[in-house]
Structure 1
Amino acid sequence: MDIFFRPKSVAVIGATPSSGKIGNIIIENLLGEGYKGKIYFVNPNYKEILGIPCYSSVIDCPGPVDMAVIVVPALLVPDVMEQVGKKGTKAATVISAGFSEGGEEGKEREKALSEIADRYGIRFVGPNSLGVISPHYNLNASFARASPMAGPIAFFSQSGAFCTAAIEYSLGEMFGFSAFVSSGNKANIDDADLVTYFAKDAKSKCIAAYMESTRRGKDLFKALDKASKKKPIVILKAGRSKRGAKAASSHTGALAGSDASFDAVFKQTGVYRAKTMFELFDAAQALAHQPPMVEDGIAIVTNAGGMGVIATDCAEDLGLELSELSKTTLDEIGKVCPPTWSWGNPVDIIGDADTARYANVLKAVGQAPEVKGIMVIAARQAATNLYEIAKWIAITAKLSGKPTVACFAGIENPESENFLDSRGIPVMPVPERAVTALHALRVRGKYLSTKGLLDTPQPNRS
């Protein structure tokens, strides 16, 4: 499946000069992102587009076509796929809608499409797909209005609208992707195929997905079971409720399946199940960048007592244990804090905490053997220098080697946030989301421990 993410040539079948049309947006994305391969335009209604020759059929393209992007009316797609097969192209992304998501006629059309692809040995994404994006290779073969940054998260989604929302959200949060796939109806390439591929992909450190249903449950189970031993996986499986499952079936044209069955599969295969979009990407960021938390015991360092209490409650709700700080650790912290500090965990170092106090407390916590994971909360107070505190969070994470997350409570501070993001330390605006990130790391650690895989090399997150 490398050809979908590193094609040497792409043909846009249904290319058009008409601004705002999907066939034009895909052209803009391919050219605008600086894709370095050969681009062919195919549309019998035009001789050229943007000064580039336009061909009547993909067969007429003068060179080999590694991947075809098909964006023509649904009725024409089977004939176009036939031409793609005759050209010798082995990969296609079918953007066109009007297949199994749209009734019996669409289901028959999708079946015919699959039969043609099978006859020619073509693998295809879709139909009803937003497209495929490979940020590390400047490939945006989609009609998304924005392009995600390059990064370590391999992502696929059954919903195209979820894809566009994820791109916009990721740009604001400053995290990136190794691959980005709108799987659509999954008539050919499906969840199991993508999980298997991303498990082997060197640029993918974590696999994340939005799912509503799956067509090959047993194959997905096998793929997840095998892939989880190599890389962390986090999935937002929608349709948990009866109404949600009904809506998912209406949306995709496929049955959502038993939610209890999905839940059991995820637990058995070590997949972290997210219930919200925030959880999906908070967990994915942590799992892509931070080491797994192999034992229980987190320390919460905060300059805001209330935020520490919220974090503690959330941790307990998730079964994430706080460490019992030793006398040695408490004494070390006590040396650099006023007597009114909390003398326990959460470590409330009081609202007047400056950078030096944060630095000294983080040093003590980082060196404490009873602390296995660190959460740092900073609320804006008179003495708070977020950028300097961010530096000490990064230093502590580096020196201790412990999984570390941050919460800048209710604060937008791009300089400090980008500093931590660039060093792989998740930073959240509310404590409960930071707790979720640590929880994902602990779930990962437990899974690896149970499977006897803690000594197995995991993806390099440097």
Structure 2
Amino acid sequence: MGTLTKLFDPDRVAVVGATTREGAVGRAVTSNLLADFDGETVPVNPNYDEVLDTPCVTSIDDANADIAVVVVPPSIVLDAIEACGEAGTQNVVVITAGFGETGEDGAAREQRLADLAEEYNLNVVGPNSLGIISTPSGMNATFGPENALSGGLSFMSQSGAFVTAVLDWANDNGVGFKDVVSLGNKAVLDETDFVDHWGGDPETDVIIGYLEGITDGREFIETARETARDTPIVAVKSGRTSAGAQAASSHTGTLAGSEKAYEAGLDQAGVIRAESVDDLFDAAGILGSQPLPDTDSIAIVTNAGGPGVMATDAVGDAGLNLASFAPKTTDALRESMPAEANIHNPVDVIGDADVDRFGKALEIALADDHVGAALVLAAPTATIDFDALGDTVRETVETTDAPVAACLMGGDRTREPTRKLQKAGIPCYFDPARGIDSLATLAEYRDIRQREYADPMSFDVDRERAREVLETVHDRDDNRLGVEAMELLDAYGITTPAGSIVDSPSRAAAVAADVDGDVVMKIVSPDILHKSDIGGVAVGVATADVADTYETLITRARNYQPNATILGVQVQEMVDLDAGVETIVGMNRDPQFGPLLMFGLGGIFVEVMEDTTFRVAPVSEPEAHEMTREIQSAPLLRGARGRDPVDVDAIVDTIGRLSQLVTDFPAIVELDINPLVALPDADGEANAAAVDVRLTVDPEILD
């Protein structure tokens, strides 16, 4: 892929398949370009001398174009792509459908398109794309019904219909764009390429997107992280329901699903997640027009008690807080407001307030060093002129570095003042909650910009020993490993209790004799996943009883599943579960993002409580620490109700080692360490122990 500069700033655009036929896509694209494009539009069609009064050439060789917009039938698209490559036209927009979205034949055609793009080093948008727009040059290379207004948003969408709907809405609401891209099938260029390009574009203030999937999750995270340091990225991601989750056999796989991967991946990428179209454009609007707040403390100035309470609730819901005014602020408000007014936050200037009183209260609140941002909230009264209030708000905002949002709650009388406020870069809403949520978006982006990304955790490990354990799946009827793979964890420095797997009562007794205290015994069988459910686990077995317990466990397993493969019995040192906290560390491999790590409350309740958090591997030490703080049960780890705090650093170490393991071996499809028992600090001793493990291996990838 080459630079995308000429894709958005071309001198000449060729329409391959231009036509005069009414209703044809080729005619619509040509017409849109001729209407507004500052450069030259070149129709390409051997059947015409001219199209829409514009000279037509017979082939792309004669066009000398920076971009070719391809609208020919799918059967000859590949010929057109090859011709573009031969002609040196590096940028191609394929509007034609009939590729990967249509089945096996279309998918093969799409792969051939991608191969040609690689061969000729072409930038290809699509296929199955609505087209692209770039407003500085007036280029509308789409078959949509209208062009975009000029502005600072660059917008990409996997849905062409969503693009046309957004442009129609945006034109009615005065929302402008720098570039617009309908991604189509993303055979060559994808969301990562455009994030990378727009991140270096000084005319793009905010990147927004509608995404249904991400082609390469890891690459997207790395690219978006760099871009988001200077340019905010906001995205709506569809497909959030459980219908999109993949079937899985492990706890991690069951709880993960695609939505968890996207939630973790977008957060790690520094992308602000919008839950709706309103959220998307609320976030984009305020990010492109208002400064970032120094603190999360909000001041509310209102003439309406009820809406003020609604805004106050929204502050808490958004994770912000009401600013506590300094004494000089409350003194100034007391001097300026009537006795009936509330001079504490939220400031209620009461219903008879005129514009001067409103403006004075806002000025005083914004002057307080404790105030990070402010919401102006006004309901219609006989004493408020919304036009004059809008003027006052704009004048006051010019004197502050704090972000300000407004809520003018009303109908016709608020429309023109709202338009003027928004034109001045002050977002204005009817709903107080939307105003607060927008201010919260600024705080979220401030935190993203302040993140310090560390390198992934790395340890000295025994990769060859780990590979030998994984390769044992070649000798099995299935690809699942259980406690017989504890050596895999040992190879990566993850602490496991003393013990081993034995195949006779006498061997069981010998192993138990070397363990200090009573032991735990478990059936080892790839066919029996939930061993405790069939009585396949014995806890607190004295050394004298180990041989008999071995026989009992084998008998229970045989009675439960006569044809099960029994590898033996694991004899293991007992870990004092009461002294620690049972957690789970696991991984499920996501198709887009790769290894998705999970940490949470473990034991037998993991799928009932679902107290978990996720990250895309590999993770850094700060990210692993964040995982231990994010679960609802975090107080248990740090000491609650008189319990001793556990060794969180040992948990972090285990997360890091597992992260390295599943990154090193893509053949590991799923893996659970459950429970990972986190114990209180004890100098010189292992303070987190992996008691059980279960994993699924893809033998073909391992080879």
Give your verdict on TM over 0.5: yes
What do the CA deviations read for 1:50-83 (whole angstroms, capped 9, x no partner)? 221222322233xx10000111222221111111
Runs of at least 5 residues in structure 1 that lack an aligned partner in the other structure: 247-256, 453-462
Give the secondary-structure state (helix, strand or coil) at the position aligned to 2:416. helix
Counterpart position of 1:274: 274
Counterpart position of 1:446: 447
Residues 156, 208 of structure 1: 8 Å contact kept: yes
Residues 70, 92 of structure 1: 8 Å contact kept: yes
Counterpart position of 1:428: 429
Residues 154, 198 of structure 1: 8 Å contact kept: yes
Q: Report how many aligned residue pairs link the two structures.
A: 440
Give the partner amino acid of 1:6.
D
Give the secondary-structure state (helix, strand or coil) at the position aligned to 1:289. coil
Of residues 37, 40, 62, the one that matches 1:38 is 40
Give the partner amino acid of 1:37.
G
Farther-moved stretch of structure 1 (189-198 vs 298-307): 298-307
Runs of at least 5 residues in structure 2 that lack an aligned partner in the other structure: 247-256, 454-703
In the TM superposition, residue 270 of structure 1 has moved relative to its aligned partner by 2.5
Give the secondary-structure state (helix, strand or coil) at the position aligned to 1:273. strand
Same amino acid, percent of matched pairs: 38
Residues 22, 143 of structure 1: 8 Å contact kept: yes
Within a 5 Å distance, the mapping from 1:18-33 to structure 2 comes to: 18-33=21-36
Q: What is the CA–CA distance in structure 1 between the aligned matches of 2:15 and 2:415, rounded to whole Å? A: 38
Counterpart position of 1:75: 75
Q: What is the CA–CA distance in structure 2 between the aligned matches of 1:27 and 1:100, rounded to whole Å? A: 26
Give the partner amino acid of 1:116.
L
Q: What is the CA–CA distance in structure 2 between the aligned matches of 1:306 and 1:245, rounded to whole Å? A: 42
Counterpart position of 2:594: none
1:190 corresponds to 2:190: yes
Residues 14, 68 of structure 2: 8 Å contact kept: yes
Give the partner amino acid of 2:204.
S
Residues 362, 392 of structure 1: 8 Å contact kept: no
Q: What is the CA–CA distance in structure 1 between the aligned matches of 2:308 and 2:167, rounded to whole Å? A: 31
Within a 5 Å distance, the mapping from 1:25-424 to structure 2 comes to: 25-33=28-36, 35-61=37-63, 64-243=64-243, 258-412=258-412, 413-424=414-425
Farther-moved stretch of structure 1 (324-333 vs 358-367): 324-333
Larger relative contact order (Cα-Cα within 8 Å, sequence gap ≥ 6): 1
Counterpart position of 2:7: 4
Q: What is the CA–CA distance in structure 1 between the aligned matches of 2:442 and 2:390, rounded to whole Å? A: 21
Give the partner amino acid of 1:4.
L
Q: What is the CA–CA distance in structure 2 between the aligned matches of 1:266 and 1:169, rounded to whole Å? A: 26
Residues 101, 185 of structure 1: 8 Å contact kept: yes
Instruction: Summarize the Cα distance change of 1:76–1:393 in structure 2 as closer, same or farther, 3 Å threshold.
Output: same
TM-score (norm 1): 0.91
Farther-moved stretch of structure 1 (373-382 vs 442-451): 442-451
Farther-moved stretch of structure 1 (408-417 vs 141-150): 408-417
Give the partner amino acid of 2:25.
I
TM-score (norm 2): 0.61
Residues 379, 411 of structure 1: 8 Å contact kept: no
Q: What is the CA–CA distance in structure 2 between the aligned matches of 1:147 and 1:358, rounded to whole Å? A: 40
Q: What is the CA–CA distance in structure 1 between the aligned matches of 2:44 and 2:245, rounded to whole Å? A: 39
Higher Cα radius of gyration: 2
Q: What is the CA–CA distance in structure 1 between the aligned matches of 2:79 and 2:49, rounded to whole Å? A: 21
Q: What is the CA–CA distance in structure 1 between the aligned matches of 2:354 and 2:25, rounded to whole Å? A: 53
Residues 352, 383 of structure 2: 8 Å contact kept: yes
Q: What is the CA–CA distance in structure 2 between the aligned matches of 1:437 and 1:224, rounded to whole Å? A: 21
Give the secondary-structure state (helix, strand or coil) at the position aligned to 1:118. helix
Q: What is the CA–CA distance in structure 2 between the aligned matches of 1:292 and 1:68, rounded to whole Å? A: 41
Residues 10, 67 of structure 2: 8 Å contact kept: yes
Residues 99, 105 of structure 2: 8 Å contact kept: yes
Counterpart position of 1:16: 19
Give the secondary-structure state (helix, strand or coil) at the position aligned to 1:93. strand
Give the partner amino acid of 2:443.
R
Q: What is the CA–CA distance in structure 1 between the aligned matches of 2:321 and 2:221, rounded to whole Å? A: 30
Residues 293, 444 of structure 1: 8 Å contact kept: no
Q: What is the CA–CA distance in structure 1 between the aligned matches of 2:114 and 2:140, rounded to whole Å? A: 24
Q: What is the CA–CA distance in structure 1 between the aligned matches of 2:25 and 2:145, rounded to whole Å? A: 10
Residues 238, 244 of structure 1: 8 Å contact kept: no
The RMSD of aligned alpha carbons is 1.9
Q: What is the CA–CA distance in structure 1 between the aligned matches of 2:334 and 2:145, rounded to whole Å? A: 53
Farther-moved stretch of structure 1 (206-215 vs 332-341): 332-341
What do the CA deviations read for 1:269-323 (whole angstroms, capped 9, x no partner)? 3221111000011001111111112312011112222222222222211211111
Q: What is the CA–CA distance in structure 1 between the aligned matches of 2:147 and 2:340, rounded to whole Å? A: 49
Q: What is the CA–CA distance in structure 2 between the aligned matches of 1:28 and 1:174, rounded to whole Å? A: 24
In the TM superposition, residue 381 of structure 1 has moved relative to its aligned partner by 1.9
Instruction: Summarize the Cα distance change of 1:243–1:393 in structure 2 as closer, same or farther, 3 Å threshold.
Output: farther
In the TM superposition, residue 43 of structure 1 has moved relative to its aligned partner by 2.0
Q: What is the CA–CA distance in structure 2 between the aligned matches of 1:245 and 1:129, rounded to whole Å? A: 27
In the TM superposition, residue 28 of structure 1 has moved relative to its aligned partner by 2.0
Residues 93, 124 of structure 1: 8 Å contact kept: yes
Give the secondary-structure state (helix, strand or coil) at the position aligned to 2:56. strand
Give the partner amino acid of 2:56.
C
Give the partner amino acid of 2:190.
D
In the TM superposition, residue 244 of structure 1 has moved relative to its aligned partner by 6.3
In the TM superposition, residue 95 of structure 1 has moved relative to its aligned partner by 0.8
